[in-house]
Amino acid sequence: MSVTQQQVLDSLARIKSPRGVALTNANVLSPISASDGKVFFSINVDAAEARAWESVRAEAEAAVRGIPGVTTVLVALTAERKAGAAPPPPPQPSRGTPGVQPVHAHKPPQGGQSPMARQSEIPGVAAVIAVASGKGGVGKSTTALNLALGLRDLGLKVGLLDADIYGPSVPRLTGLHEKPELDGERKMIPLRRFGLAIMSIGFLVEEETAMIWRGPMVMSAVTQMLRDVAWGTLDVLVVDMPPGTGDAQLTLAQNVPLKGAVIVSTPQDLSLIDARRGLAMFKKVNVPVLGIVENMSYFQCPHCGTKSDIFGHGGARHEAEKLGVPFLGEIPLHMAIRATSDAGNPVVDSEPDGPHAAIYRAIAGQVRDQLKGVIAAA
Ligand code: ADP
């Protein structure tokens, strides 16, 4: 049975808002996405009012969940700060109150603020790390998944969160398309594959829906995926960030409790310039850059194994040296990486004894070494 937007609106019309009118008349609802039993929308209020609206958000979610045919509901409360207004108090650890994380979409954070000041750690998760790139198409998601698998091969418990809200590719890269179920505490149970706990916005909404989200909705959805997912005990949670270094990415970098970031770049100049922007972004929010990975570093002929530096290989290593950040490794442009990725069988898992798996594991080893203290402490 498919659920219509009208059915959702009818159920929301019965909920009273703090403004004294029905929720549907309070002028706070985003367009409602309802397809295939999956419903997503946000309630957009001013940051100063956010706390008063949390119970409404929960009520709205419960009401929509009660509509026959609804399988997944995600109601995000997004709090926008008016220009010049004082920042809202930092969010409380959200155990038991999923969903509300006041966000600051229109005012990117200024220098020197620690992300930890904004976001509490995720219980049970020792280290959250970001995999980021200055632009799309450089192989960020492929690297994130294979890095996660490399960390797994080192004996760590690893999760992967696909926060690339503008084009979630983890469903394609893993072959997973099921909807996550809810546990007894109504937290989403991550899907499991290759020994990883995996969550993607692509499991919840259609790709096209995610594409049109505005900044605050992106942030709120990612926060919910971090906190309302039963991750269990993890040594490392790898977050596949949305590409780019705009306000949405900066806000995300600040609001996720990151222990470090890995930047993926191709050797071309343009993407190195973009990688530099990525470095600057993480520096701004005091997230240590664990290093740069050069992807599609050189072309390796699948037949004869000959290497060709078609993009002027080595730029990222040089750049990393200049900027004083670790250089983590070079991944060749190779048919096997593309083919396995796109078929949902990432190369580290499907060809564990091959040369590419060894490269990803070496990168994972350096990342693990940098996080050792954090993981051991947890
Ligand atoms: P991004 O997340 O940066 O947009 P993806 O990881 O989705 O990039 O990769 C984009 C495309 O490039 C995919 O088809 C992927 O299989 C391919 N790709 C990524 N890395 C490599 C590589 N080292 N060799 C060959 N193909 C690659």
311: left (phi over 0), alpha (psi -120 to 50) or beta: alpha
- pLDDT single digits (tens) 10-19: 999 999 999 8
Task: Compute the mean pLDDT over every residue in the chain, rounded to the nearest whole number.
Answer: 81
Distance from Cα 295 to the centre of ligand 1, integer Å: 9
The CA distance from 224 to 226, in Å, is: 5
The CA distance from 43 to 40, in Å, is: 10
Which has more pLDDT, 120 or 190?
A: 190
* 331 close to ligand 1 (CB < 6 Angstrom): yes
Phi, psi of 174 (to 5 degrees): -110, -10
Atom 15 of ligand 1, residue of closest alpha carbon: 338
* 302 close to ligand 1 (CB < 6 Angstrom): no
Mean pLDDT on 185-193: 91
Atom 19 of ligand 1, residue of closest alpha carbon: 139
- pLDDT single digits (tens) 24-49: 999 888 878 887 788 888 787 876 77
The CA distance from 78 to 80, in Å, is: 6
Q: Closest Cα partner for 241 from 220, 267, 262?
A: 262
The CA distance from 45 to 79, in Å, is: 5
Q: Which CATH superfamily is domain 5-94 in?
A: Fe-S cluster assembly (FSCA) (3.30.300.130)
Give the pLDDT score at 105: 32
**How many other CB atoms sit within 10 Å of the CB of residue 247?**
16
Distance from Cα 142 to the centre of ligand 1, integer Å: 6
The CA distance from 175 to 163, in Å, is: 17
Q: Give the lowest-confidence range in 15-29, 267-281, 356-370.
A: 267-281
- pLDDT single digits (tens) 285-311: 899 999 999 998 777 777 777 777 766
Helix axes 50-65, 5-13, angle to 10 degrees: 120
CATH of the domain spanning 125-377: 3.40.50.300
Mean pLDDT on 106-134: 67
Give the pLDDT score at 365: 98
The CA distance from 321 to 303, in Å, is: 33
The CA distance from 196 to 95, in Å, is: 23
Mean pLDDT on 240-264: 86
Atom 26 of ligand 1, residue of closest alpha carbon: 338
**How many other CB atoms sit within 10 Å of the CB of residue 18?**
15
The CA distance from 329 to 376, in Å, is: 25
- Residue spans of the domains in the chain: they are 5-94, 125-377
Contacts 24+ apart (CB under 8 A), 224-227: 224/74, 224/76, 224/98, 224/99, 224/101, 225/161, 225/163, 225/188, 225/199, 225/201, 226/122, 226/128, 226/161, 226/256, 227/94, 227/98, 227/101, 227/122
Quote the tokens at residue 126.
């020792």
CB 43 within 8 A of CB 60: yes
The separation between CA 208 and the C-alpha centre of its own chain, rounded to angstroms, equals: 17
Residue type, 272: L
Phi, psi of 100 (to 5 degrees): -100, 115
CA angle 377, 329, 303 (to 5 degrees): 135
CB 356 within 8 A of CB 150: no
Annotate 299-342 with DSSP letters as a single string.
Answer: EE-TTT--EE-TT-TTHHHHHHHHHT--EEEEEEE-HHHHHHHH
258-265 vs 196-200, strand pairing mode? unpaired
Probe target for ligand 1 pocket from 341, 345, 347, 363, with the most ligand atoms within 8 Å of CB: 341
